[in-house]
């Protein structure tokens, strides 16, 4: 369908057919006292002027910094095929697949995405995706609350502080109690976490790797929680799942996470991709859309939205969530990305991230004044401590075209001299070396 504006003659014809002469007459039913008197709009711009205005705006972005920022959202390489395949109009313009008879393509793609999430997490069922990792974490908490009938959630201090804020916001008017247990030396504090468990605890929420980049094997915590009837929710980094123990392997009940690293650009905050996977026991508590595979009445394979009685448009106030949508296009990008890379490719990306981060740590350790926090193992992200405020340091390094990391004072005031540095497969040895040199120079000044 091409878009061609109506001509004046066509408009006049349409008005005539309505028995009117002016466009304003169409709005005659709206009382004069609630009609706008004026619109505070500047004059119209030409196409050239619009482009100039937008161009000037975009010049204010720092679009070419060498990016070492992480904190849950990472600068990974996106193969051109991801854009090419997902921008096909059959995918790009497809609507919600409520009518399976005209949506088999979309439904099959989502079903395959769900299968990939199950394989990545080692769990049995995945939904069709949620808005982002934070929303997914909140939904997992609600699942645990509904499944156990308890209303207390213990949150490990290694959870992303942005997610922590989201949990507080979502639950502000609900009777849910949170307890946060700080990490020790960057890792989950077993003694304090287990001491905090009680018979009212619906779930313990963990993150791996955690916000400080630290990796851990939580299987002992999972066992202890299950002994008390408490579920375990683990928020995970999908690239890391290629090399770490999966949530399924250690007995986690619900795995959630941010899928942005799987072929979705950073885009200054979104759109992103929340994934959620769980065991069969909990499938009826799972929110959001779920695609199933079945056969039609002629015995042919077909895909449909299934178990819809979970969703709020049917279950209403008994539903665990009001979400009745997914991030179809982002989920498709993740699906295409994972299909392109395959198991080995994803493993290669993870290995490169880890190796390059280790190289960065080694270079930084040689810089006077820099302390690399090494009390706990890390994947591709680690924390460093410097003698200056890292908020200022970031500003100085941005002027040298490097985005050096996340200044932790922004989230934890007592950590003003700490910075979180992330290294992905995109960072070359040269870029890491340059960062080390600029960091040394900035600290000398």
Partner 1 sequence: MTPNDRRYTKTHEWVKLEDGKAVVGITDHAQEALGDITFVDLPKLGRTLAAGGEFGVIESVKAASDLYAPVGGVVSAVNQALNDTPELINRDPYGDGWIITLSGVDAAALTTLLDAADYESKITVRN
Supply the minimum distance, in Å, between the C-beta of residue 207 and partner 1.
31
Q: How many residues does the chain have?
A: 445
Least separation in angstroms between residue 181's CB and partner 1 is 31
- According to CB under 8 A, which one of 314, 362, 398, 441 is a site residue for partner 1? 314
CB-wise, 97 or 263, nearer to partner 1?
97
Query: Of the two residues 315 and 410, which places its CB atom closer to partner 1 in the complex?
Result: 315
Residue 107 beta carbon to partner 1: minimum distance, rounded to whole angstroms: 17
81 binds partner 1 per the rule CB under 8 A: no
- C-alpha closest to that of 325 among 7, 98, 81, 155: 98
Helix count and strand count (H, E) for the chain: 14, 15
* Nearest residue to 424 (alpha-carbon basis) of 261, 268, 216: 261
CB of 174 to partner 1, least distance (A): 20
CB of 310 to partner 1, least distance (A): 8
Q: What is the phi/psi pair of residue 159, to 5°? A: -70, 145
Shortest reach from residue 16's CB to partner 1, in Å: 47
Tokens describing residue 274 = 């929340």
**Cβ-based nearer residue to partner 1, 107 or 420:** 107
Taking CA atoms, 294 is separated from 95, 200, 289, 298, 302, in Å, by 21, 40, 16, 11, 5
Measured distance CA(358)–CA(254) in Å, rounded? 30
Asked whether the beta carbons of 22 and 15 are under 8 A apart, the reply is: yes
Nearer to partner 1, 160 or 278 (CB): 278
Minimum gap (Å) between residue 287 Cβ and partner 1: 14
Interacting residue with partner 1 among 30, 309, 355, 362 (CB under 8 A): 309
Stretch that binds partner 1, among 164-172, 264-272, 308-316, 366-374 (CB under 8 A): 308-316
Helical (H) or strand (E) element with 152: strand 152-156
Comparing CB distances to partner 1, the nearer of 314 and 355 is: 314
* Residue 309 Cβ vs partner 1, minimum distance, rounded to whole Å: 4
End-to-end CA distance of the chain: 61
Pick out residues in 316-355 that bind partner 1 (CB under 8 A).
316, 318
Q: What is the number of other CB atoms lying within 10 angstroms of the CB of residue 185? A: 11
Total interface residues for partner 1 by CB under 8 A: 8
Identify which of 298, 277, 295 has the alpha carbon closest to the alpha carbon of residue 286.
277
Residue 183 burial (C-beta neighbours within 10 Å; 0-12, 13-18, 19+): buried
**214 and 373 Cβ atoms separated by less than 8 Å:** no
Stretch that binds partner 1, among 32-40, 135-143, 190-198, 315-323 (CB under 8 A): 315-323
Q: Which of 146, 335 has the CB closer to partner 1?
A: 146
Q: How far is the CB of 290 from partner 1 (least distance, A)?
A: 13
Q: CB-wise, 65 or 307, nearer to partner 1?
A: 307
Q: Which lies closer to partner 1 via its Cβ, residue 319 or residue 357?
A: 319
Q: Residue from 104, 108, 115, 308 that binds partner 1 (CB under 8 A)?
A: 308
Instruction: Specify the DSSP class assigned to residue 74.
Output: -
Q: Is the dihedral of CA 156, 272, 250, 210 positive or negative?
A: negative
Nearest to 345 by CA among 257, 263, 247: 263
Q: Structure tokens of 121?
A: 């997490």
Nearer to partner 1 among residue 115 and residue 308 (C-beta): 308
- From 117-125, 153-161, 309-317, 408-416, span contacting partner 1 (CB under 8 A): 309-317
Contact 115, 303 (CB under 8 A): no
Measure the CA–CA gap between 130 and 117, rounded to whole angstroms: 13
Q: How far is the CB of 319 from partner 1 (least distance, A)?
A: 8
Q: Cβ distance 248 to 259 under 8 Å? A: no
Please tell me whether residue 99 binds partner 1 under the rule CB under 8 A. no
Q: What kind and span of H or E run contains 304?
A: strand 301-305
Closest-CA residue to 113 (of 252, 240, 264): 264
Sole window of 27-35, 128-136, 301-309, 420-428 interacting with partner 1 (rule: CB under 8 A): 301-309
Q: Does residue 315 interact with partner 1 by CB under 8 A?
A: yes
Binding mask 156-195 for partner 1 (x = CB under 8 A): ----------------------------------------
Residues 235-294 that bind partner 1 (CB under 8 A): 284
Please identify, using beta-carbon distances, which residue of 173 and 317 lies nearer to partner 1.
317
Nearest distance in Å: CB 145, partner 1: 16
Q: Which residues make up the interface to partner 1 (CB under 8 A)? A: 284, 307-309, 314-316, 318
């Amino acid at each position: 369908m091409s878009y061609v504006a109506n001509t004046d003659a066509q408009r006049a014809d349409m008005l005539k057919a309505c028995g009117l002469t002016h466009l304003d007459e169409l709005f005659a039913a709206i009382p004069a006292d609630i009609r706008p008197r004026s619109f505070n709009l500047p004059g119209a711009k030409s196409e050239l002027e619009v482009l100039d205005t937008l161009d000037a705006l975009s010049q204010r972005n720092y679009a070419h910094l060498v990016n070492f920022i992480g904190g849950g959202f990472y600068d990974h390489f996106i193969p051109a095929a991801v854009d090419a395949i997902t921008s096909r109009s059959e995918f790009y313009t497809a609507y919600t697949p409520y009518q399976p008879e005209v949506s088999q393509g979309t439904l099959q793609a989502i079903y395959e995405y769900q299968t990939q999430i199950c394989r990545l997490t080692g769990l049995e069922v995945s939904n069709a995706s949620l808005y982002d990792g934070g929303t997914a974490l909140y939904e997992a908490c609600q699942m645990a609350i509904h499944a156990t009938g308890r209303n207390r959630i213990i949150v490990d201090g290694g959870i992303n502080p942005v997610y922590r804020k989201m949990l507080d916001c979502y639950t502000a008017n609900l009777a849910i109690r949170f307890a946060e247990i700080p990490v020790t030396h960057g890792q989950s504090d077993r003694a304090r976490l287990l001491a905090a468990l009680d018979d009212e605890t619906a779930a313990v929420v963990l993150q791996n790797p955690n916000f400080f980049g630290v990796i851990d094997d939580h299987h002992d915590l999972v066992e202890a929680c299950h002994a008390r009837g408490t579920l375990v929710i683990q928020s995970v980094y999908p690239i890391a799942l290629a090399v770490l123990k999966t949530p399924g392997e250690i007995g986690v009940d619900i795995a959630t996470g941010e899928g942005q690293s799987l072929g979705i650009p950073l885009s200054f905050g979104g759109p992103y991709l929340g994934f959620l996977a769980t065991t069969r026991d909990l499938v009826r508590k799972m929110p959001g859309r779920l695609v199933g595979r079945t056969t039609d009445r002629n015995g042919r394979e077909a895909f449909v939205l299934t178990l819809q009685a979970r969703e709020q448009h049917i279950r209403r106030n008994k539903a665990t969530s009001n979400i009745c949508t997914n991030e179809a296009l982002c989920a498709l990008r993740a699906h295409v990305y994972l299909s392109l890379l395959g198991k080995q490719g994803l493993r290669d990306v993870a290995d490169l991230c880890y190796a390059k981060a280790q190289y960065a740590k080694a270079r930084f350790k040689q810089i006077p004044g820099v302390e690399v926090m090494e009390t706990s193992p890390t994947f591709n992200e680690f924390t460093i401590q410097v003698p200056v405020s890292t908020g200022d340091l970031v500003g100085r390094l941005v002027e040298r075209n490097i985005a050096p990391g996340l200044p932790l004072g922004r989230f934890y005031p007592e950590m003003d001299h700490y910075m979180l540095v992330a290294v992905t497969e995109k960072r070359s040895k040269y870029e890491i070396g340059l960062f080390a040199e600029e960091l040394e120079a900035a600290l000398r000044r």
